[in-house]
């Protein structure tokens, strides 16, 4: 399977006018190798070129991993002296005849450190952005990937269900986040979770990317829990909003609107529908109620090996959804200084519609 991914990449490179692609440790390298490499102070770079065996520059201590590749790789190892590392990259460039070639890069992933070493090895080369070519590789998930994502969703949901009975008025956001982390690991999440849980209540819940702090949960708060798990390299990303004790009528109202918006977005998703149309369906529900200006972000984003990848569910994205694409639907309403609500599910486009990988109750549940 992984070898077929490499073949797909090299075929895309030929049609994209790329002579080579370089990858450092991260999701795409793992996708194309099945292996985990550390992003550290010692550079690791895989050089991929059509019709030639890939070349891997790596520290000597990582050499045993070369035998684990599912295809032939030519290793070029270096020792602990940084002054000698450029020579390893020159060897890689010479082995592939890179010279003044076009070497595609991932700007969001490739660090300046690795880039400088590659540039030193191929000073005449051009380095175009290969983001589109590489993103296209991972855009549509196969059955193995979807099974891992379903497991990541199951782990996340089970972990939060285990935490809900422990939520009490007076506990801090940080205490709740800590317990959720414990339960994520207890229920089977990999240690490299997609992001630290966002646990925010009351005024803090009006900040979509709040950091859990020392604020104590109070009666009347809306409690937003945005969390995820990782399984076999794939992730989940979910949000549910709870009532801490009795909440006022507006809190109940905005939660119901967000819940309806989430349902509309999920219902709109199907093959051949644009990302913009899904955003419009979800956003329209909120706008009709007069809360449109309080929905301050896109409706969703792609998920898979990363918590943010394509496709992006926003109003200007005309990309059409296709079977195998996975993404979130996560509308929200944020009343600054008061309360906020968000409901987020993980979706996959099927041959004739869409499936929600998550099924945890979306209704507002009372805790505390």
Where do the domains of the chain lie? Answer: 2-137, 140-367
Mean pLDDT of all residues belonging to the chain = 97
Residue 96's pLDDT is 97
**What CATH number is given for 2-137 in this structure?**
3.40.350.10
Cα 184 to Cα 163: distance, rounded to the nearest angstrom: 10
Which residues, other chains included, contact 364 with Cβ-Cβ below 8 Å and sequence gap of 6+?
A: 241, 242, 243, 252, 255, 256, 259, 341
Cβ contacts of 300 within 8 Å, gap of 6 or more: 265, 278, 279, 312, 313, 327, 328, 329, 330, 344, 347
Residue ranges of the chain with per-residue pLDDT less than 70: none
The pLDDT, as a whole number, for residue 290 is 98
DSSP state of 195: S
What integer pLDDT is reported at residue 86 of this predicted model?
97
The answer for residues whose C-beta is within 8 angstroms of residue 244's C-beta and 6 or more apart is 167, 169, 201, 217, 218, 219, 220, 221, 222, 223, 366, 367, 368
Query: Residue 95's pLDDT is what?
Result: 96
Q: Which two tokens stand for residue 41?
A: 């102070």
Cβ proximity of 344 and 308 under 8 Å: no
* Each residue's pLDDT tens digit, 239-283: 999 999 999 999 999 999 999 999 999 999 999 999 999 999 999
DSSP 15-63: HTT-SEEEE-SSHHHHHHHS-----SSS--EEEE-TTS--EEEEEGGGG
Topology given in CATH for the domain delimited by 140-367:
Creatine Amidinohydrolase (3.90.230)
pLDDT digits (tens, 9 = 90+) for 192-219: 999 999 999 999 999 999 999 999 999 9
Any idea how long the chain is?
368
pLDDT the model gives residue 141: 97
Whether the bond between 268 and the residue before it is cis, its omega within 30 degrees of 0, is no
């Amino acid at each position: 399977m992984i070898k077929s991914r490499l073949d797909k990449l090299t075929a895309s490179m030929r049609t994209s006018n790329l002579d080579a692609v370089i990858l450092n440790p991260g999701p795409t390298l793992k996708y194309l190798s099945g292996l985990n490499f550390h992003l550290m102070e010692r550079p690791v770079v895989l050089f991929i070129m059509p019709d030639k065996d890939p070349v891997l520059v790596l520290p000597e201590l990582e050499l045993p991993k070369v035998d684990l590749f599912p295809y032939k790789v030519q290793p070029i190892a270096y020792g602990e002296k940084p002054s000698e590392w450029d020579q390893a990259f020159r060897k890689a460039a010479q082995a592939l005849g890179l010279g003044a070639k076009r070497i595609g890069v991932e700007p969001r992933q490739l660090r300046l450190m690795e880039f400088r070493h590659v540039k030193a090895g191929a000073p005449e080369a051009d380095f175009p952005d290969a983001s589109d070519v590489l993103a296209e590789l991972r855009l549509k998930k196969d059955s193995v990937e979807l099974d891992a994502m379903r497991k990541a969703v199951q782990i996340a949901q089970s972990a939060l269900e285990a935490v809900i009975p422990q939520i009490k008025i007076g506990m801090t956001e940080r205490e709740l986040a800590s317990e959720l982390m414990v339960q994520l690991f207890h229920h089977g999440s990999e240690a490299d979770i997609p992001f630290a849980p966002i646990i925010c209540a009351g005024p803090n819940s009006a900040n979509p990317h709040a950091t859990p702090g020392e604020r104590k949960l109070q009666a009347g708060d809306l409690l937003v829990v945005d969390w995820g798990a990782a399984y076999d390299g794939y992730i989940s990303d979910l949000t549910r909003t709870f009532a801490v004790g009795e909440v006022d009528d507006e809190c109940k109202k905005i939660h119901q609107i967000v819940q309806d918006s989430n349902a509309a977005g999920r219902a709109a998703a199907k093959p051949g529908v644009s990302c913009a149309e899904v955003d419009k369906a979800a956003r329209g529900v909120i706008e009709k109620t007069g809360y449109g200006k309080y929905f301050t972000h896109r409706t969703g984003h792609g998920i898979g090996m990363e918590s943010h990848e394509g496709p992006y569910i926003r109003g200007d994205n005309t990309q059409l959804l296709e079977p195998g694409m996975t993404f979130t639907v996560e509308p929200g309403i944020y009343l600054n200084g008061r309360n906020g609500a968000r409901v987020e599910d993980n979706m996959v486009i099927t041959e004739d519609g869409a499936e929600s990988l998550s099924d945890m109750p979306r209704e507002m549940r009372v805790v505390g």
